[in-house]
Amino acid sequence: MSLEKIKSDRLQKLERIRTAGVDAYPLEMSRARQDVIFVLDNFEKLSSAKKETVLAGRLRLIRSHGGSTFADLEDSSGKIQVYFKKDLIGDKDYAFFTDNFDMGDFIEVAGELFATQKGEKTLLVKNYRLLAKALNQLPDKWHGLEDIEERFRRRYLDLLMNKEVKQRFRARSGILKNLRMFLESRGFIEVETPILQALPGGALAKPFKTHLNSLDMDLYLRVAPELYLKRLLVAGFDKVYELGRSFRNEGMDKSHNPEFTMLEFYWAYADYEQLMELTEELFEFMAPELEIEYQGNKINFAPPFKRISLHDFILEHYLVDIKTAKKDALKKILEKVGQKVGDDMPQCKMVDELLKTLRPKIIQPTFIINHPIEMSPLAKSAQTDTAEAARFQLLVGGMELINAYSELNDPQEQATRMKKQEELRDEEIQRYDQDFIEALEYGMPPAAGFGLGVDRLVMLLTDAPTLREVILFPTMREK
């Protein structure tokens, strides 16, 4: 039967339901309703008591045999069998159910619990009512869709039909709770800062632009919350974090989505060395067994993680010294590995592109430290070499998870760096932010700052192959 015919048939049933004076989408809900999981866990006690049990959920599988109909009733906690018996509820109500109810409908049932001869926990229905009539039929097959993008376009069906998908998002919720728990146990407080910003800042990324009509001013969706969180350090908060959305108008691939969840925290009177130690503690907390499997690779989080400077990392793989190499040499290497390089691409961007080509090779947790200072306009210079930043990136499972550094708190140096960035005339540069510079002039304590891509962390901890598998509603091209 075609989908159009199925919908037409259900619309006719809806009309019959309404003609019978039944509200197909009622307002009032029963206060006696219990979760399916509670009933299953306490089945012996509840069934022995012979008291009325009220359940509500979606009809999944319906099996009719003469005067008996069995169905599966499912809510968010679990699934249980329900039994409609003509001799018990009467010919009229039984026929009304079998003639007008379909898989996918939401119903409320009340009755007594019993176990079938095969031992299946079941509710014998004494009365029922419709809560919501479903006009579209649930798909028979969904998991093996050839058009994988259809799963993401209609995520509600993906979650409904695939238990493992729903479990992954339950796991994601637990991961976010654990991140908060870890930080708050160490004295950090959660804050919220603007998503709409007059100037984009805090990351080298292309922003989305919008316009506020009431004030007739252009605004940007934030690429990172960094500059506002550091204003809070100026304001006297020593440990702050924000867990929320950021937006970057850039390419999409298995580890990038235009909107994504970022965790950033700022820790006064700490440096990036201490931050690396805290990062190792974080993964001990998030993965207590210290070993996970990701895409066929066993990853071990036992500290200490490997550390290597970006200079040595690139030298090891490409035999080029980024401290002395000319742009042409870097350009040739990038073109050799298939990267497009514009004539106006800054040298620091070329170094970053070289790093991106090497990320997939790094599976075990590795701190890439001490990036060229031009790549890090908001970071302090390293103690050993002022041409390098006191910065690290944590690579795991072939992707960057964390970017962190000792924060630059010298207002004059920060102003100089921002102005120099603007000379690059690149869409991804750190713009000069006078308001932020003024805040620094009131004094910001030495601090370490940390940014974690939460979606990538969820990918790692749930063994998901792409970012779209861990974002409920990923950005999709229009059909």
The pair phi, psi for residue 277, each rounded to 5°, is -65, -40
Quick one: average pLDDT of 86-113?
A: 97
Beta carbons within 8 Å of 92's beta carbon, 6+ residues apart = none
Q: 3-state SS of the chain?
A: CCHHHHHHHHHHHHHHHHHCCCCCCCCCCCCCECCHHHHHHCHHHHHHHCCCEEEEEEEEEEEEECCEEEEEEEECCEEEEEEEEHHHHCHHHHHHHHHHCCCCCEEEEEEEEEECCCCCEEEEEEEEEEEECCCCCCCCCCCCCCCHHHHHHCHHHHHHHCHHHHHHHHHHHHHHHHHHHHHHHCCCEECCCCCEECCCCCCCCCCEEEEECCCCEEEEECCCCHHHHHHHHHCCCCEEEEEEEEECCCCCECCECCEEEEEEEEEECCCHHHHHHHHHHHHHHHCCCCEEEECCEEEECCCCCEEEEHHHHHHHHHCCCCCCCCHHHHHHHHHHCCCCCCCCCCHHHHHHHHHHHHHHHCCCCEEEECCEHHHCCCECECCCCCCEECEEEEEECCEEEEEEEEECCCHHHHHHHHHHHHCCCCCCCCCCCHHHHHHHHCCCCCEEEEEEEHHHHHHHHHCCCCHHHCCCCCCCCCC
Q: How far apart are CA 223 and CA 259, in angstroms?
A: 9
Quick one: average pLDDT of 220-235?
A: 96
Please answer whether residues 103 and 161 qualify as being in contact, where contact means their C-beta atoms are separated by less than 8 angstroms: no
Q: C-alpha 145: how far from its chain's center?
A: 23
Per-residue pLDDT of 317-346, as tens digits, reads 999 999 999 888 998 999 888 888 887 888
- Lowest mean per-residue pLDDT among 135-144, 221-230, 246-255, 262-271: 135-144
pLDDT at residue 140, rounded to an integer: 78
Residue 444: is its pLDDT beyond 70?
yes
pLDDT at residue 234, rounded to an integer: 98
pLDDT at residue 223, rounded to an integer: 94
Q: What percent of the chain has pLDDT over 70?
A: 98
CA nearest to 444, candidates 375, 380, 370: 380
Residue 141: pLDDT band with limits 50, 70, 90:
confident
Please answer whether residues 407 and 379 qualify as being in contact, where contact means their C-beta atoms are separated by less than 8 angstroms: yes
Q: How far apart are CA 332 and CA 330, in angstroms?
A: 5
- Lowest mean per-residue pLDDT among 76-90, 326-340, 432-446: 326-340
Strands 366-369 and 306-309: parallel
pLDDT at residue 421, rounded to an integer: 82
Structure tokens at 294: 């990701």
Assigned architecture for domain 155-305+364-469: 2-Layer Sandwich (3.30)
Residue 215: is its pLDDT beyond 90?
yes
Beta carbons within 8 Å of 177's beta carbon, 6+ residues apart = none
> Which comes out higher in pLDDT, residue 147 or 155?
155
pLDDT at residue 150, rounded to an integer: 86
pLDDT at residue 429, rounded to an integer: 72
Q: Is the pTM of this model over 0.85?
A: yes
> Could you tell me the CA-to-CA distances from 268 to 188, 192, 201, 380, 392 in Å, in that order?
11, 18, 20, 14, 18
Per-residue pLDDT of 370-414, as tens digits, reads 999 988 999 999 988 999 999 999 999 999 999 999 999 999 999
For all residues of the chain together, what is the average pLDDT?
Answer: 94
Quick one: average pLDDT of 94-116?
A: 97
CA nearest to 456, candidates 408, 409, 397, 404: 397
The pair phi, psi for residue 231, each rounded to 5°, is -60, -30
Residue 215: how many CA atoms within 13 Å on its side-chain side? 7
Sheet holding 208-212, edge to edge: 196-197, 217-221, 208-212
Strands 239-247 and 189-190: parallel
pLDDT at residue 430, rounded to an integer: 74
Tell me, what amino acid is at 462? T
Residue 427: is its pLDDT beyond 80?
no
pLDDT at residue 425, rounded to an integer: 64
Rg value, the chain, Cα:
29
Residue 8: pLDDT band with limits 50, 70, 90:
very high
Assigned architecture for domain 3-132: Beta Barrel (2.40)
Q: How far apart are CA 274 and CA 446, in angstroms?
A: 13
In the chain, where are the structural domains located? 3-132, 155-305+364-469
Please answer whether residues 201 and 437 qualify as being in contact, where contact means their C-beta atoms are separated by less than 8 angstroms: no
Per-residue pLDDT of 251-308, as tens digits, reads 889 999 999 999 999 999 999 999 999 999 999 999 999 999 999 999 999 999 999 9
